[in-house]
Chains A and B, each alone.
Chain A
Amino acid sequence: MFYREAGDFKTSYSDDGQTFPIAFDRWRYYAVLAVAFLVIPFVINDYWEKSIIMPFLVWSTVAIGLNILTGYCGQLSLGTGGFMAVGAYASYKLMTAFPELNIFFVVLLSGAITAAVGALFGLPSLRIKGFYLAVATLAAQFFLVWLFNKVPWFYNSSASGQITAPERSVFGILVTGPNAAPWASYLFTLVLVTALAWVARNLTRGKVGRSWMAIRDMDIAAEIIGVNPLATKLSAFAVSSFFIGVGGALFFSVYLGAAEVGEAFGIDKSFLVLFMIIIGGLGSIFGSFAGAAFMVLLPVLLKNVLVGGLGWPTDLAAHIQMVIVGGLIVLFLILEPHGLAQLWRVAKEKLRLWPFPH
């Protein structure tokens, strides 16, 4: 019905190879973008910005980053929290050392710095893989958090070790700090996230992405057909860390405004992001968004239903919420091990044939 291919003729390869080959899909995508850019900024308030949309966007960026590494290139990583911390501390140092630098460049440079750090920690991936690599990246997580806690230079020797984002603006409009309007910091983040998701989608469709997937599927075969494992694995680590670094920078400077490394970027964050991409779907950009939404928004929804709606005691609600989210994760992985993205894909397949499944 909706997903019609009849009458939707492609006359060139580029038409056939586009991200959304089905017209309905394409229009839906444009509609989502239009709502995100043209409607939400006018209706957003503090609560929606700080509690729902910003965490969703920031975690989506980070999830895309890990998905590139784990989902597309098959390199298991538990260092996500540490790399986010690199992004956050890089943006803090850049903001305080170069006050004139535009926040856009601060965020992108933080990503670049994280990319370099990520590539460095990606070096072991040339020799080891699977669980062994996971442990090596786990070392990155602990080392980086320890480093930012230990060396006062990173937090400008503040008494408590907390870093606080100074106010920065784009075109004279504040986007960081407490005085920033919700729509401003939202739009700033949205522009970055949209651009990054677009880049990620196209990277994974092109030559680079194909070599990542070749390495993921069978590295020896990939090497035989001419994929350079060194360049491919390191590029996956670098690109992935770039996204995670940008996510970390946004997490600190735009979303929270202050952070403390042990609490904000602990090992639990690495696991959270790993859950996001497993629930969302490995090797899918849409899955990164879906997984982030699932892990970040569901607890908030449950809290509002149980405490706000039903008036349960907060501790009971918090525990029940853990049970529900945990149970859903288990249920999900049993029913659909390939995550939300696969569920969406199957639904689309069915809709394309509906009402004549044969």
Chain B
Amino acid sequence: MKRHLALLAATLLAGAGPAAADLTFPMLSYRTGAYANNGIPFADGYHDYLTLVNERDGGIGGEKIRITECETAYNTEKGVECYESTKGEGALIYQPLSTGITYQLIPKATVDGIAIHSMGYGRTSAADGKVFKWIFNYPGTYWDAASVMVKYILEQEGGDIGGKTIALLYHNSAYGKEPIRTLEELSKKHGFKLALLAVDHPGLEQKSQWLEIRRSRPDYVLMWGWGAMNPTAIQEAANVRYPMDHFIGAWWSGSENDVKPVGDRADGYKAVTPNGVGDDYPVYDDLRSYVADKGLAAGAGDQLGTVLYNRGMYAAMLAVEAAKTAQQIHGTAKIDAAMMRDGMEALEITEEKMTALGLPGFGPAFTVTCADHGGPGSAMIQQWDAKAGEWKIVTDLISPDREVIAPLIAEDAAAFAAESGIEPRDCK
């Protein structure tokens, strides 16, 4: 009996699944834990778009997509467990969906030969394709976002922010610390004063930081927050009567979950975004008729059109397009992880392509190259309209200041290469 139990436990623990012939897209999602609020819409968007491709197009190039979801709760150890348990099933590409997990997986996936698409998060210097062969973070990085925000402020202030103060309110973790390097460089270049205000996980306690803001009145406050930290910060900003239109969040600090709890007082809050907002895109007709109406929507199916749902859908769209590109390059519909990587690297997103997909003007047009895995990094500014209860895009695409960012990326990538003994590839 005992042996039988042990045997049963062993087979169950191993979670042995047969290697499927379909195209496997693992999802490391988090629908539980401290960040579930934001994890759910992203996961739903990613899932629904892949379901749409299966239902409407019969998969990618005739091959059905198999989605294997694994719950990480935004926890690094669980993320590693998820990665190890799904990688053997023919996984084509990973979206780790957390800076911590991405840092864990970068070396592992590089050895295993599976591509990682950390879209707009993770390790910024992974944009250097010469060092990070398997890692992609297009269409933009945190450093791009920081630069876009500063550029937007420059625009608002008529091109001169010398002597102004910009405060950065950040989550005291790898994720929150990411933009500091760039902002420091930019502050040297433009002559503004940078004030750093760290908020510890989970971010509910930020009274002292806002007291500081109230006292010193920085001209602008930038926020790198996630989860419960965002609505708390916006609430505090309203409490100290900080002008909302001078308060700009990163692209993970600008969803409905962040502003709605604050109510009317959040009106005017801004955030940077690499993708369009709202459900005013033709793809939504398909999503409704092929997925939602058939009862195939992931989760509760109530997230359509929210900012993070759109972003998850965007990530899935890029992955599907990369898979199509890979199929064209290698002339086979049954691609493997290595071919998928080639597809990721040869991906070209044009305005026509996006229009054909029902997503006109949804994000920047870009071409990935061997040396550049980071995309153009251009992004827009969105603003919350509390009366209408929706986000509105208020600018065109703003491109980042690559003069400042490129050397930083090269420096950090070189440090990583030296640290882990990687010989940078030769890119023509």
State how many angstroms separate the Cβ of A35 from the closest Cβ of chain B. 12
- The answer to whether B17 and A260 have CB atoms under 8 Å apart is no
Q: Which of B15, B124, B201, B299 touches A262 (beta carbons < 8 Å)?
A: B201
The B interface is mostly helix, strand or loop, or mixed, namely helix
Cross-chain pair count, CB within 8 angstroms: 121
**For chain A residues 258-309, which have a beta carbon within 8 Å of chain B?**
258-260, 262-264, 266, 297, 300-301, 303-305, 307-309
- The answer to whether B13 and A297 have CB atoms under 8 Å apart is yes
- The answer to whether A314 and B173 have CB atoms under 8 Å apart is no
> With a CB–CB cut-off of 8 A, which chain B residues contact A164?
103, 107, 419-420
Q: B355-374 toward A: CB 8 Å interface, digit per residue (1/0)?
A: 00000000000000000000
Chain B residues proximal to chain A, CB less than 8 Å: 9, 12-15, 17, 29, 31-32, 36, 40, 69-71, 73, 75-77, 80-81, 84-85, 87-88, 99-100, 103-104, 107-108, 110-111, 123-124, 172-175, 177-178, 180-181, 198, 200-201, 299, 412, 419-421
CB of A97 within 8 A of chain B?
no
Q: Which of A160, A162, A260, A309 touches B12 (beta carbons < 8 Å)?
A: A309
Stretch in A47-55, A102-110, A198-206 touching the partner? A47-55
- The answer to whether A260 and B100 have CB atoms under 8 Å apart is yes
- The answer to whether B107 and A257 have CB atoms under 8 Å apart is yes
State how many angstroms separate the Cβ of B20 from the closest Cβ of chain A. 14
CB of A111 within 8 A of chain B?
no
With the chains together, A164 CA to B40 CA distance in Å?
A: 29
> With a CB–CB cut-off of 8 A, which chain A residues contact B124?
159
State how many angstroms separate the Cβ of A24 from the closest Cβ of chain B. 15
> With a CB–CB cut-off of 8 A, which chain A residues contact B77?
55, 256
CB of A167 within 8 A of chain B?
yes
Q: A164-B103, A258-B104, A263-B173 are in contact. Are A46 and B84 (CB under 8 A)?
A: yes
User: Which chain A residue shows the least CB distance to B200?
Assistant: A262
Q: Which of A160, A256, A300 touches B104 (beta carbons < 8 Å)?
A: A256
- The answer to whether A159 and B84 have CB atoms under 8 Å apart is no
With the chains together, A222 CA to B141 CA distance in Å?
A: 62
- The answer to whether A257 and B12 have CB atoms under 8 Å apart is no
Q: A145-167 toward B: CB 8 Å interface, digit per residue (1/0)?
A: 00001000000000111101011
Q: Which bracket fits the contact residues of A?
A: 35 or more
The A interface is mostly helix, strand or loop, or mixed, namely helix
- The answer to whether A159 and B71 have CB atoms under 8 Å apart is no
Q: A47-B84, A264-B76, A301-B13 are in contact. Are A314 and B99 (CB under 8 A)?
A: no
- The answer to whether A166 and B419 have CB atoms under 8 Å apart is yes
With the chains together, A264 CA to B78 CA distance in Å?
A: 11
State how many angstroms separate the Cβ of B183 from the closest Cβ of chain A. 11
- The answer to whether B201 and A161 have CB atoms under 8 Å apart is no
> With a CB–CB cut-off of 8 A, which chain A residues contact B69?
307, 313-314
Q: A178-B111, A314-B29 are in contact. Are A256 and B80 (CB under 8 A)?
A: yes
> With a CB–CB cut-off of 8 A, which chain B residues contact A149?
172, 198
> With a CB–CB cut-off of 8 A, which chain A residues contact B299?
315
Q: Which of A159, A178, A308, A314 touches B412 (beta carbons < 8 Å)?
A: A159
> With a CB–CB cut-off of 8 A, which chain B residues contact A263?
75-76, 100, 173, 201
- The answer to whether A159 and B12 have CB atoms under 8 Å apart is no
With the chains together, A22 CA to B107 CA distance in Å?
A: 48
With the chains together, A119 CA to B100 CA distance in Å?
A: 31
Q: Which of B71, B75, B110, B174 touches A160 (beta carbons < 8 Å)?
A: B174
With the chains together, A266 CA to B100 CA distance in Å?
A: 14
- The answer to whether A260 and B14 have CB atoms under 8 Å apart is no
Q: Tell which of A46, A264, A319 has the most Cβ of chain B within 10 Å.
A: A46
With the chains together, A315 CA to B36 CA distance in Å?
A: 10
- The answer to whether A159 and B178 have CB atoms under 8 Å apart is yes
State how many angstroms separate the Cβ of B288 from the closest Cβ of chain A. 22
> With a CB–CB cut-off of 8 A, which chain B residues contact A48?
14
State how many angstroms separate the Cβ of A4 from the closest Cβ of chain B. 19
Q: A85-106 toward B: CB 8 Å interface, digit per residue (1/0)?
A: 0000000000000000000000
